[in-house]
């Protein structure tokens, strides 16, 4: 019997053990790091830095969240994160606390990962960062290294540097670097272990070695480390996100053009993306980009440039095109329902701002649902994991336990997030479930010809006129 269990154990370890990314020989020198803020960035960075061999204390003012983490819960949906946290908690390289002062005093490196949300005027709101920095200044018990992962607006790091000088009551030194984050929600753990570059804005030469040490496994993998000025690092972060936002708005406009012609945007995107100067990524049209980063960073960069008298016309246009895109999707529905939405039942598949996340911040799906509610539609919604968050802002929706339940008796269905499970739906069965078989596929994930052959009135973004067999 014992051998049987031993055999099962070996099978489990070899085949089912979650993939842990850092290899033994890649472990870095052990730095004591306090991570302030346990959101998407802080929690992922904390767990991954612990995996690299550092000793990490993740802290947050949110007592409920820390209690949940200490009980083995994970407050966000992020692939691979739970395995990483469980492993490093067991190895005593990771801990969670609300005692931020203690965490700062016990660490040599402090990583700021708190949010910098968009203020009323489009500028990034730094109040949470400032309050975290004040806590650091008040708890200096030796020299500290302060690293910023939160997205910092142009000129802010130097301002924060001066603030610390003013606030600190001791002679201890605080050296600063800005390491902007390029993780994508949904693939954050993988992105942390396989980054395309590490950007470090700093004025301190001594910090180069500390950062090499903390991220040693990435150095061994030959990831480029680019040391820059504070301002360059600030612009690199916001310009990267803005460039990607421009790319999405660009393809959304081209998709809208395709709809007025016989062109198919999937063919067009493939054709232009094969030019390596353009590249194939971020050329998927949809209901407009959302999330906590692109809308915020484009507005913030625009605002900061305006303060300096610089007119960023391309980014302004990308924002305007994005604001219009969700309306274009809505118009497609209005058109097929002959403009009468009042008391119609609309099934909404997908509420998250993209697939593989439970995040609904600035989600186009939420924008579209709000517009439908204004027009007195009845909404039956389904999302594999974002419904818990959606319920908090849209309690009036009818939440369903499956896509089929949401579509039962509906006058039309809108696909607003590209969840893989929506592609596996048996549309021949759905055809008989719905009151009228109308599909608005705002993510272009369904086989067009098949749906049309089944008798659906089917609309999408940029390939409405696609004819013949489904595009491969």
CB 321 within 8 A of CB 252: yes
Q: CB of 166: closest distance to ligand UGA in angstroms? A: 29
Of 361, 336, 367, nearest to 456 by C-alpha is: 336
Of 459, 371, 378, nearest to 414 by C-alpha is: 459
Q: Pick from 37, 53, 217, 291: which binds ligand UGA (CB under 6 A)? A: 291
Give the number of other CB atoms < 10 A from CB of residue 9.
10
Q: How far apart are CA 393 and CA 7, in angstroms?
A: 50
| Pairing label, strands 345-349, 225-228 | unpaired
- Compare residues 21 and 243 and give the one whose CB is closer to ligand UGA: 243
Q: Pick from 290, 350, 437, 462: which binds ligand UGA (CB under 6 A)? A: 290
- Compare residues 285 and 437 and give the one whose CB is closer to ligand UGA: 285
Considering the rule CB under 6 A, would residue 250 count as an interface residue with ligand UGA?
A: no
| Pairing label, strands 174-178, 198-202 | antiparallel
Q: Which of residues 387-426 bind ligand UGA (CB under 6 A)?
A: none
Binding mask 354-373 for ligand UGA (x = CB under 6 A): x-------------------
| Pairing label, strands 345-349, 378-382 | parallel
Catalytic choice (59, 258, 293, 400)? 293
CB 394 within 8 A of CB 366: yes
Cα angle vertex 124, ends 121, 128, to 5°?
Answer: 125
Considering the rule CB under 6 A, would residue 182 count as an interface residue with ligand UGA?
A: yes
Helix (H) or strand (E) holding 407: helix 403-407
Q: What are phi and psi of 92, to 5 degrees?
A: 60, 35
Q: Which of residues 310-339 bind ligand UGA (CB under 6 A)?
A: none
The 8-class DSSP code of residue 16 comes to I
- Compare residues 50 and 365 and give the one whose CB is closer to ligand UGA: 365
Q: Is 293 annotated in the active site?
A: yes
CB 66 within 8 A of CB 98: yes
Which listed range, 63-71, 132-140, 285-293, 429-437, lies at the site for ligand UGA (CB under 6 A)?
285-293
With H, G, I as helix, E, B as strand and everything else as coil, classify residue 77: coil
Give burial (CB, 10 Å; 0-12/13-18/19+) of 472: exposed
Which listed range, 5-13, 69-77, 288-296, 300-308, lies at the site for ligand UGA (CB under 6 A)?
288-296
- Compare residues 182 and 471 and give the one whose CB is closer to ligand UGA: 182
- Compare residues 139 and 325 and give the one whose CB is closer to ligand UGA: 325
Which listed range, 57-65, 282-290, 383-391, 401-409, lies at the site for ligand UGA (CB under 6 A)?
282-290
Considering the rule CB under 6 A, would residue 282 count as an interface residue with ligand UGA?
A: yes
Which listed range, 51-59, 279-287, 371-379, 387-395, lies at the site for ligand UGA (CB under 6 A)?
279-287
Q: Pick from 43, 94, 183, 377: which binds ligand UGA (CB under 6 A)? A: 183
Binding mask 152-181 for ligand UGA (x = CB under 6 A): -----------------------------x
Query: Please, what's the b/e burial string for 100-131 (b: 16 or more CB within 10 A of its CB; e: otherwise)?
Result: beebbeebebbbbbbbbebeeebbbbbebbbe
Q: Pick from 294, 303, 427, 456: which binds ligand UGA (CB under 6 A)? A: 294
Catalytic residues: 293
Q: Footprint of ligand UGA on this chain (CB under 6 A)? A: 151, 181-185, 241, 244, 248, 282-284, 286, 289-291, 293-294, 353-354
């Amino acid at each position: 019997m014992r051998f049987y269990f031993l055999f099962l154990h070996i099978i489990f370890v070899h085949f089912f053990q979650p993939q842990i990314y850092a290899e033994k020989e890649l472990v870095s020198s052990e730095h004591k790091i306090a991570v302030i803020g346990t959101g998407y960035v802080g929690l992922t960075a904390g767990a991954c830095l612990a995996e690299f061999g550092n000793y990490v204390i993740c802290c947050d003012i949110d007592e409920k969240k820390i209690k949940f983490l200490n009980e083995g819960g994970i407050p966000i949906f992020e692939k691979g994160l739970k395995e990483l946290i469980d492993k490093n908690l067991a190895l005593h390289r990771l801990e969670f606390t609300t005692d931020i002062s203690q965490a700062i005093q016990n660490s040599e490196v402090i990583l700021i990962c708190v949010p910098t949300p968009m203020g009323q005027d489009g500028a990034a709101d730094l109040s949470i960062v400032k309050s975290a920095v004040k806590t650091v200044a008040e708890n200096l018990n030796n020299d500290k290294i302060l690293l910023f992962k939160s997205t910092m607006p142009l000129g802010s790091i130097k301002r924060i540097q001066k603030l610390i000088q003013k606030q600190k009551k001791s002679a201890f030194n605080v050296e600063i670097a800005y390491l902007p984050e390029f993780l994508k929600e949904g693939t954050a753990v993988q992105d942390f272990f396989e980054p395309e570059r590490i950007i470090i804005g700093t004025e301190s030469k001594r910090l180069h070695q500390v950062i090499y040490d903390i991220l040693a496994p990435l150095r061994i993998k030959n990831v480029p480390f680019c040391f820059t000025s504070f301002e360059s690092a600030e612009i690199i972060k916001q310009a990267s996100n803005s460039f990607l936002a421009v790319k999405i708005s660009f393809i959304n406009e081209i998709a809208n053009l395709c709809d007025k012609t016989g062109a198919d945007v999937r063919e067009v995107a493939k054709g232009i993306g094969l030019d390596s100067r353009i590249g194939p990524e971020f050329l998927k049209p949809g209901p407009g980009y959302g999330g906590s980063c692109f809308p915020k960073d484009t507005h913030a960069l625009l605002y900061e440039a305006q303060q300096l008298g610089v007119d960023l016309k391309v980014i302004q246009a990308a924002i305007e095109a994005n604001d219009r895109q969700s309306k274009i999707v809505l118009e497609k529905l209005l058109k097929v329902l002959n403009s009468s939405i009042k008391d119609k039942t609309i099934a909404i598949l997908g509420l998250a701002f993209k697939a593989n996340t439970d995040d609904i911040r600035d989600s186009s799906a939420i924008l579209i649902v709000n517009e439908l509610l204004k027009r007195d539609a009845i909404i039956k919604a389904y999302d594999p994991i974002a419904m818990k968050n959606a319920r908090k802002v849209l309690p009036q929706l009818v939440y369903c336990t499956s896509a089929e339940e949401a579509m039962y008796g509906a006058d039309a269905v809108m696909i607003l997030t590209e969840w893989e499970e929506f592609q596996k739906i048996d549309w021949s069965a759905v055809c008989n479930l719905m009151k009228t078989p109308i599909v608005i596929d705002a993510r272009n994930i369904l086989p067009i010809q098949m749906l049309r052959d089944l008798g659906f009135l089917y609309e999408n973004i940029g390939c409405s006129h696609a004819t013949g067999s489904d595009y491969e």
